[in-house]
């Protein structure tokens, strides 16, 4: 017990001296307990096996997916609690903003990739349900004194096309996260119009032209080949469909950036250790945010994939960026 506490303290002190801009040179003096030594395997693989970043480490591309899987397998149970703790609840506002910008019309189909615990899908279904109720109320207000003709029309057209058709599909590569999400859905009593699919963002198990809206919230930085994920998004979207991505990004304000860095590297792994008992996963989380391209670069990647009208807007001063593109 005392030994582990001492280990914790040593880690904290080491990390507090670490420069934020450490590149993939590997973590200095990280205990080789759970992680396999990365740099040995980098260039000893067969030709064609490139390396990518896993946080500030460099790992072979084939490794990254496995390690990300393990990370999320470990954190799945406490994922939502940790989100609330780390962002002080602000992540709910970010996701609400995503829905408001999306403004889905009744009857659209949503694909939420890396949707894990299903936050976006739940909000989507609630939003659409609210819109439909509002429309029904508006229609009812207009029909305060229906004529016999109107009443007979209402009876003849019982099958309304819009309401029951909004469907959300939550797709995630990690079964644990989906399991937690399903439990949440059962707890909230949401079941209509919701499906849970296991799938890889780089190779979605869906046909072309299936979905109206594709969202990926805080998941795309974990994908090994981001451009492939974007290509897949383009493929499964219907013409006119919208790609929306919520992701951590570069803070524009320098003062806020400094505070954010201190908070990220000092507080978040500690929170991870205390609440979820997993320091390294949250260390990975914070590092992966730093490795993700910034707003303009990601917008360029979206345009390169073939989306039109690519735009982004910064939330919370650039901590989170909401990117959007259309398949036209």
Partner 1 sequence: MAALLRALRVGSALRGLGSVVSAPAAQPPCSSLTRGFHRAALRLQDESKADKPPSSSPSSTTYHEHYRAHSAEQEAAGAPQEHSASEPAAKEASRPNTSYQDQSGEQGEEYETEEQLQARILTAALEFIPLHGWTVEAIAAGAEMLGLSSASTGMFYNGAGDLVLHFVSQCNSQLTDILAEQHNQVQLGQAEPKKTAEFLRDAVETRLRMYIPYIETWPQAMSILLLPHNIPDSLKHLSTLVDDMWYYAGDRSTDMNWYTKRAALTGIYNTTELVMLQDSSPDFQDTWDFLDNRIQDVVNMATTAKQVQATGETVVQGLMGAAVTLKNLTGLNQRR
- Minimum CB distance to partner 1 smaller for 126 or for 304: 304
The distance of closest approach from Cβ of residue 38 to partner 1 in the complex, given in angstroms and rounded to an integer, is 27
- Minimum CB distance to partner 1 smaller for 24 or for 237: 237
Angle among Cα 264, 268, 274 to the nearest 5 degrees reads 165
**34: CB partners within 8 A, 6+ apart:** 280
Chain residues in the site for partner 1 (CB under 8 A): 101-105, 107-108, 209, 212-213, 227-228, 231, 234, 237-242, 300, 303-304, 306, 308-309, 324, 326-328
- Minimum CB distance to partner 1 smaller for 225 or for 291: 225
Pick left, alpha or beta for residue 117 (phi over 0 → left; psi -120 to 50 → alpha; otherwise beta): alpha
- Minimum CB distance to partner 1 smaller for 56 or for 243: 243
Report the relative pairing of strands 57-60 and 320-326 from DSSP bridges.
unpaired
Which residue, among 267, 311, 321, has the nearest Cα to 86 in the 3D structure? 267
The distance of closest approach from Cβ of residue 201 to partner 1 in the complex, given in angstroms and rounded to an integer, is 14
Angle among Cα 223, 229, 233 to the nearest 5 degrees reads 140
The distance of closest approach from Cβ of residue 229 to partner 1 in the complex, given in angstroms and rounded to an integer, is 11
Helix (H, G, I), strand (E, B) or coil at 243: strand
Token couple for 142: 């207009």
Rg over alpha carbons for the chain, rounded to the nearest Å, is 22
- How far apart are alpha carbons 23 and 271 in whole angstroms? 24
The distance of closest approach from Cβ of residue 202 to partner 1 in the complex, given in angstroms and rounded to an integer, is 10
Q: Residue 308 forms beta bridges with which residues?
A: 326
- Minimum CB distance to partner 1 smaller for 98 or for 171: 98
- Minimum CB distance to partner 1 smaller for 59 or for 111: 111
The distance of closest approach from Cβ of residue 138 to partner 1 in the complex, given in angstroms and rounded to an integer, is 10
The distance of closest approach from Cβ of residue 233 to partner 1 in the complex, given in angstroms and rounded to an integer, is 12
Contact present, 196 and 113 (Cβ < 8 Å): no
């Amino acid at each position: 017990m005392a030994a582990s506490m001492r280990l914790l303290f040593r880690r904290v002190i080491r990390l507090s001296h670490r420069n934020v801009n450490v590149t993939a040179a590997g973590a200095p003096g990280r205990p080789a307990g759970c992680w396999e030594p990365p740099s040995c395997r980098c260039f000893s693989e067969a030709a064609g096996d490139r390396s990518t970043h896993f946080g500030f480490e460099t790992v072979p591309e084939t490794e990254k997916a496995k390690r990300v899987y393990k990370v999320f397998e470990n954190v799945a149970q406490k994922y939502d609690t940790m989100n609330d703790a780390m962002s002080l609840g602000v992540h709910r506002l970010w996701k609400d903003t995503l829905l408001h910008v999306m403004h889905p019309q009744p009857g659209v189909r949503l694909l939420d990739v890396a949707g894990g615990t299903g936050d976006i899908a739940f909000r989507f279904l609630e939003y659409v349900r609210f819109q439909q109720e509002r429309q029904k109320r508006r229609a009812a207000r207009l029909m305060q004194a229906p004529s016999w003709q109107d009443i007979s029309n209402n009876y003849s057209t019982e099958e309304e096309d819009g309401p029951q058709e909004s469907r959300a599909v939550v797709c995630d590569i990690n079964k644990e996260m989906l399991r937690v999400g399903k439990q949440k859905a059962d707890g909230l009593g949401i079941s209509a119009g919701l499906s849970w699919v296991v799938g890889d963002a780089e190779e979605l198990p869906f046909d072309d032209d299936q979905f109206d809206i594709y969202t990926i919230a805080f998941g795309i930085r974990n994908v090994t080949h981001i451009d492939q994920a974007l290509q897949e998004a383009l493929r499964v979207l219907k013409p006119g469909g919208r790609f929306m991505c919520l992701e951590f990004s570069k803070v524009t304000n320098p003062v806020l950036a400094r505070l954010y860095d201190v908070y990220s590297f000092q507080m978040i792994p500690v929170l991870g250790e205390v609440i979820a008992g997993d320091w390294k996963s949250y260390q990975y989380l914070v590092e992966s945010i730093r490795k993700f391209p910034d707003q303009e670069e990601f917008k360029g990647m979206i345009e390169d994939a073939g989306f039109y009208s690519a735009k982004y807007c910064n939330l919370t001063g650039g901590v989170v960026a909401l990117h959007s593109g259309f398949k036209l």
